[in-house]
Every structure is written in structure tokens, then in C-alpha cells.
Amino acid sequence: MRDYIVFLWRCFRLSFVGDWRYGAWMLTLTAIALLGLNAYCRQLVFGLATTGMTDQVSWGLYIANFTFLVGMAAAAVMLVIPVYIYRNKELHDLVIFGELAAVSFIIMCLLFVTVDLGRPDRVHHLFLRFNFPLSMLTWDVIVLNGYLLLNLHICGYLIYCAYRKREPRKALFVVPFVLIAIVWAVSIHTVTAFLYVGLGARPFWNSAIIAPRFLASAFAAGPAFIVLALQVIRRFTDYNVPQKALMTLRQIILVALTINVFLLMSEVFTEFYADTAHSASTHYLFFGIGENRALVPWIWTSVGMTAVALLILYLPLARSLRYLNLACVLIIIGVWIEKGMGLIVPAFIPTPIGEIVEYRPTVNEILVCLGIWAAGILLFTISVRITIPVLSGRLTIDHPYTTEAEPPLHRSTSATALGIERSTS
């Protein structure tokens, strides 16, 4: 127990250690997070009227970001599946980064849900009267928190074992949990999709294809984020990220994105060819209704970005990292728009009784969102900052990591030496 507290303390200390670039990055993120916190406090005082939401469009940017991030969190399995099902060696050591990202994303999800609540002070009511299994929101509470605990356990256990210089007991503590986490990851995104799909009042959501589309787009955007994050890790630390691993991820993104585009086309065809009164929301999204066209530029940007990304991925071009990175950025932004603004907002326009009220997020609302993003990325940075020295054996139970004892991280010992160390740990 005492060892564990010392471990946590050392991790805490370590999160402040780094060169000036690390410091500047952390400072910037903290500043943005605090700005967001300030905006949220304002919202607490004046109510959700500080957002652009109305009775007509009662969910906006918060739930949009939440939906997108659930997908990003679920996408950690796209690293896990190749490793544990297909025994892919290159990705093996990188799984932990996927899971760390999942932890950060889930925490961001929970934050986004919390800021969306009108009465966050009453969250304890969830423990007193839980409308399970009828309300899909209660399902979501269970799967999201369960997923968070699972991933915290897996990451925490692996890191702590490395710190204690013990061999993790794979059969008992890793593999069963990892396998459960795979199924669970699919469940978080499916349940989140069902949250919307189950509403007969909103024809735009009331479609069976939403859940598969969620998964497909998430399995493209999630690994895209991991590709970018891994390159940052490779650049600024001495952690060995094999090129082959990135190329495996590229394959995954390619397949997932192709399926996503196909599903999108299927949906667009159904809506526009049949062209019933129920396609009003889709019309609004893609072409606007009358003068109301707020989402039109967004969705076409998303479509354009996805198309370009798909083209790049299919060309041999994407074997060069520069183009792969470009594709990844396009996918992340494209899917963010599609799963966020493109999925949540149009379902409310027109309202079930035909009124058209457009939604424009306020500055305060955007600040809260940026704050949560900054907090999440801060969390991810810290967790990576801690994980790398621990996994590479530079912070262990008998060897505290200090600035004096170690050269700056990015100019440390050679990668091959670390590689050997890691495989033994």
C-alpha cells in the first residue's frame, strides 16, 4: 500500500518534469482548461441560456462532442484486436497508448455530459432511482463508467507492474480484461447510438444504420488520432514506434473509412431517393431549408475532407508519413463534423411539429468545449509522460526518476537498448 502511494506521488512529480517545450505545452493546455472552467462557472450561475441551445434545439455542441469522443474511446480496440486476436507483434507495445487515450476520451465524455446537465448538483439522483433497463441513458452511464474502470485497470496494472519490475500476470489480469474491453468498446458506441436511434419522435435518428455508422467512423477517426499521437511520442521521446505499426493502423483506417463512406451513401440514397416528408432533417443538413442553411457548409466540408482522405489512403502516396498525417487530420475533423454537428443538430430541425429554429453555439459554449478538450489532452499528455519512463525502466520502485539523475528525455539512450529492456519487462 505504501509503495503504491509512493508510486502515485512519483507519477505526480514526474508529470511536472520536462523540457521547456513540454512546459509550454502543459501551460497552454492548463490555461485553456481554466478558461473553459471559467466559462462553465458562468453557465452554472446563469443557466444553459449561456449556450446557443433552445427548446427547439435542445442538444448542441456538448452532446455532439460527447458522441464523437465516445467513438474515439471505443476505437482503442482497433489497436487491441490486432494484438490479441491476430497476434500482431508491431502493435503489441503500443496498445497501452490506445488504452490511455481511451481513458482520457472517456473522461472527456463524462465531462461533456456533466456540463450539458441543467442540474449537475443532482447527479446523486442517479444512484437513488435508476430507470434501468428502460432508459438508454442509464445504459450509457453503466457502459461508459464500466469502460473507464476496465481501461484504468488494464493501464494501471501494466504500468504498476513495470514499476515494481514484476511480470504482469497475463492470464489472470490482462487477457481476460482486454478481451472484455474489446466487447465493451463496441458496446459503448452501440449504446450511445441507441440513445438516439430509440427516439421515434426524431426520424433523422430513428434509423437502424446509425449504430454501424458510429462504429465505422469511430474506427477510422480513433486510429487516425493514435497515428498522430504515436508520431509525436516518437519525435519527442526515445520510445520506439515501429514504422510497420503505423502502416498497420493505416490499413485499419482505410477499411473503416471505406465502410463508413459506403454506409453514409446508403443512408443518403434512402433519404433522397424516397424523399418522404421524413427526410426534412437530411434536406436541412445537406441543402438547407429555405433561408436556413447553417449546417450546409459544415457537412460539405466534412464530405470533402473524408473524400480527400479516402483518396489519399487508397493511393500509394499514403505510405509516406506526411500524406498519412494529412489524411489522419482530415479524417478526424471530417468525422468530428459528421458525428457532431451533422448527427445531433439536424435531428432537431425541423422540430417534431415543424418549426425551424437554427442553432448557433455561443462563445461561452465553445470555451467550455475547448476547456474540456484541453483538459483531456492534458490528461493524455500526463499519462504518456508517466508511462514512457516507467515502461522503459527508468522509473522503478528502487529508482526514482529525477531531473538531476537523467538527461532530458528526448536525448536519452538509444532506442535499441530500450527495446531490449522493454521486451524483458
Partner 1 sequence: MAALVGALSPLRELDENDFGSVEKFIQKHYKEMDGEEMRQALERISREVEKRYDLRPDIRDVRPMDGVEFVYALNISRCIGCRKCVHACVQENNQSRDPEIQYIRVVEMPRGTLDIEKGNHHYDRPTVPDREHYYVPIQCHQCAKPPCVKVCPVEATWQEPDGITVIDYDWCIGCRYCEAACPYWARRFNFAEPKLPKKDVNPRMSYLSNRPRHKGVMEKCHFCLHRTRAGELPACLEVCPTGARKFGNVLDPQSEVSEILKTKRVFVLKEEAGTLPRFFYYFDERHPRSGGDREAAADGQEAIA
Binding site for partner 1 (CB under 8 A): 30-31, 34-35, 37-38, 41-42, 44-49, 51, 53-56, 58-59, 113, 116-123, 125-126, 128-131, 134-138, 141, 195, 198-202, 277, 280, 347-348, 350-355
Query: Distances from the Cα of 331 to the Cαs of 212, 224, 250, in angstroms?
Result: 17, 7, 12
SS3 350: coil
Decide if 181 contacts 155 (C-beta within 8 A). no
* Pairwise CA distance, residues 317 & 314, whole Å: 8
* End-to-end C-alpha distance for the chain, whole angstroms: 22
CB of 10 to partner 1, least distance (A): 23
CA separation for the pair 408, 400 (Å, rounded):
15
Given a contact cutoff of 8 angstroms between Cβ atoms, the answer to whether 114 and 223 are in contact is: no
Q: What is the smallest separation between the CB atom of 35 and partner 1, expressed in angstroms?
A: 7
Nearer to partner 1, 41 or 85 (CB): 41
**Minimal distance, residue 360 CB to partner 1, in Å:** 15
Residues 6 or more apart whose CB falls under 8 angstroms from that of 377 comprise: 29, 104
**In terms of CB distance, is 99 or 140 closer to partner 1?**
140
CB 340 within 8 A of CB 196: no
Please name which of 371, 287, 303, 375 lies closest in space to residue 337, comparing C-alpha atoms. 303
* Shorter beta-carbon distance to partner 1: residue 48 or 318: 48
Q: Least distance in Å: CB of 184 to partner 1?
A: 20
Give me the least distance between CB of 135 and partner 1, in Å please: 5
CB of 385 to partner 1, least distance (A): 21
Cell numbers 539512450 label which residue?
413
Q: How far is it, in rounded angstroms, from Cα 29 to Cα 376? A: 9
Q: How far apart are CA 190 and CA 25, in angstroms?
A: 35
**259 vs 289 by CB, closer to partner 1:** 289
Nearer to partner 1, 18 or 60 (CB): 60
Q: Which is nearer to partner 1, 36 or 82 (CB)?
A: 36
The nearest distance, CB 205 to partner 1, in angstroms, is: 9
Asked whether 241 and 231 are in contact (CB, 8 A), the reply is yes
- The answer for residues whose C-beta is within 8 angstroms of residue 29's C-beta and 6 or more apart is 374, 375, 377, 378, 381
Q: Is 405 exposed, middle or buried (0-12, 13-18, 19+ CB in 10 A)?
A: exposed
The Cα 103–Cα 110 span in angstroms is 11
In this complex, which beta carbon is closest to partner 1, that of residue 28 or of residue 251? 28
Nearer Cβ to partner 1, position 176 or 352? Answer: 352
Closest separation in Å from C-beta 134 to partner 1: 5
Q: Which is nearer to partner 1, 48 or 331 (CB)?
A: 48
* Burial environment of residue 13 by CB neighbours within 10 A (0 to 12, 13 to 18, 19 or more): middle
Closest approach, Cβ 47 to partner 1, in A, equals 4
